[in-house]
A and B are shown apart, each in its own frame.
Chain A
């Protein structure tokens, strides 16, 4: 029997009540994250990756309806926590900022503009640990120094507008890690940065993963960033997981037509002569979710009568690689 994974998401369904009706954004999604593992969550806008991440801390807005089958279990040292059943702010505090921290895409919007960076870092440490103010400030300076902000003891009293984009994202990382979370959710942490700064932040995150040993859910639309950071990857489209597996298998031998399409659509510097092949069609509106396989309206391997009627089950491509597509040949593991 394997040890329970750090985080276990089962049959997660998230819907939003709107004037136009109930909109499904995440549809029966299941995945695990082991302690110390980096899981990449890839998908285009509207694929439900951010909603999935927010569900892990129950951060979705008031009009959210979680499906009755949905469960999110966080296995901590002192026992499992059923996150979706948490109601009181006091209980939610254990996961929000305690066991789970989050880094957001837009670092300018994530810091309060009129409170110094230091006060914000100290505040969350006072909330989530037994430190006093002086200890919290010392740790904050140490963390800022660790993420490469020079002159941290002076910088800590500055405000977010006095930091550049890259520095703000470093400060955000320092803040998220200072409470020593078991799981870090990074929602497009490098998307707003220039490529040279992105490379620096990715390097920093890789160093910190080794040093702090926390698990990471890394959300991005950039497959190159995933290839450079993740151990495993899950590809989402319209609220469904299309394919999961080790990052090498999924990127080198993608099994699902959607993943193949995404990889083909990427402009690659070492194949300048190849024409760009877009995934045909447009992403359907969330109000008009296709029946059967959600990707069938754009799929080049669409089989009429099959793909538009039945939802495909997950097929094992290898021991560590699964895809939800009827066109994928299941590989029978050799039993020796």
Chain B
């Protein structure tokens, strides 16, 4: 079913990459995203968390049609359009590119050092021919720059003159200038210092309200996700293991992996040493996924059944879904 109020709807999506294929075929298939289903409600801040190698970035890219969709379906729907991302025509794709944008992780690498800030922000408008005159472009750039708290004198400068926080505000302005409805923010605060991180998170929140945007917020930092997102999905080895409204996920986590992730965050209390439930080992290679429940090799409560039987994706309470045999 596709809920009427969901903005992006992902149904059994898989993204596979061929690895080590030779002339004679062979090689193996890396299942970066493996039959993932989720719905991103309109106007929400949807968090996607997991360790490196969990497939969260690939999922985000597949939704933006920047990674190949091997199986399954992604639908995008707003007031004006309804797209099946896997089957778009060229014209539809062009339209989708305006409506769905990406903010990158590293504000140092994402901005061209040879362009002024004005040109960086204006480029999407010019490439997509969304404005009719230079004056109109300038007007739009000034408007969005002010929303992202950039000064007008900043627009004439080059990116090297800016600090990390300012650069990230420039990349946000660039992503927002064509007035997208859906934004994927991939580790957008991971490269920033703590004092700046809070500022960017607050800015994203206020822009979301102002401009009525739906966010897919990809992060490895659970405390950041807890503070910004309305819903959270936890990914492990290409699959979602738990999904719930943010408050619920962080107060009553059900999946042992979510619990372990939460307890691995170093506590600010110096006397709270070593009480955490630690995970053994490391995330297995996605080329060599464990049988049954893919988390069983590291799970503190795993039994024989977990190695044999894939746990069902169950709804425990409204909106709180989990894939674990023992979650109640």
Interface residues of A (CB under 8 A from B): 44-45, 164-167, 194-200, 202-203, 206, 221-225, 227-228, 247-248, 251, 261-263, 265-269, 272, 275-279, 282-283, 285
Contact = CB atoms under 8 A, between A and B. Distances in A.
8 contacts: A194-B51, A194-B52, A200-B279, A224-B266, A228-B273, A276-B202, A278-B196, A283-B193
B202 A275 contact: yes
A269 B223 contact: yes
Contact of A227 (B197, B202, B268, B283): B268
Given A224-B268, A272-B250, A283-B163, A203 B274 contact: yes
Contacts of A198: 264, 266
B264 A196 contact: yes
B201 interface: yes
A228 B202 CA distance: 28
Interface size bracket, B side = 35 or more
Given A262-B194, A268-B223, A282-B166, A196 B273 contact: no
Interface string B255-266: 000001110111
Given A166-B282, A261-B195, A278-B198, A269 B273 contact: no
A263 B196 CA distance: 12
Interface of B: 51-52, 163-166, 193-199, 201-202, 220-224, 226-227, 247, 250, 260-262, 264-271, 273-274, 276, 278-279, 282-283
Instruction: Pick the 4 closest A-B CB pairs, nearest first.
Output: A224-B266, A279-B195, A278-B199, A278-B198
Q: Which of A200, A225, A263 lies at the interface centre, i.e. has the most chain B CB atoms within 10 A of its CB?
A: A200
B249 to A, nearest CB: 11
B197 A265 contact: yes
Given A266-B268, A269-B222, A282-B165, A196 B260 contact: yes
Nearest to B223: A267
Nearest to A263: B268
B325 to A, nearest CB: 21
Contacts of B198: 265, 267, 276-279
A252 B270 CA distance: 9
B196 A282 contact: yes
